[in-house]
Structure 1
């Protein structure tokens, strides 16, 4: 989590729960989270 908080500063807002489950996996999906309408 500590390592992921830097590059995943944006996705953390939307995928906080997902990152807790799979921190490494969320790094791959970080781009997908950026496309979520919630961030817009």
Structure 2
């Protein structure tokens, strides 16, 4: 039971990291467009 929970938690963490990187990339792209 502990293993599946850890896998799910790791998947959520991975999605959060990907989302954060995507948001940062989008913010930089908008900043470059404005400049």
- Which TM bucket (shorter chain)? under 0.3
Which structure's residues are more often helix, by fraction? 2
Bigger-Rg structure (1/2): 2
Q: Which has the higher contact order (CA 8 A, sep 6+)?
A: 1
Normalized against structure 1, the TM-score is what?
Answer: 0.23
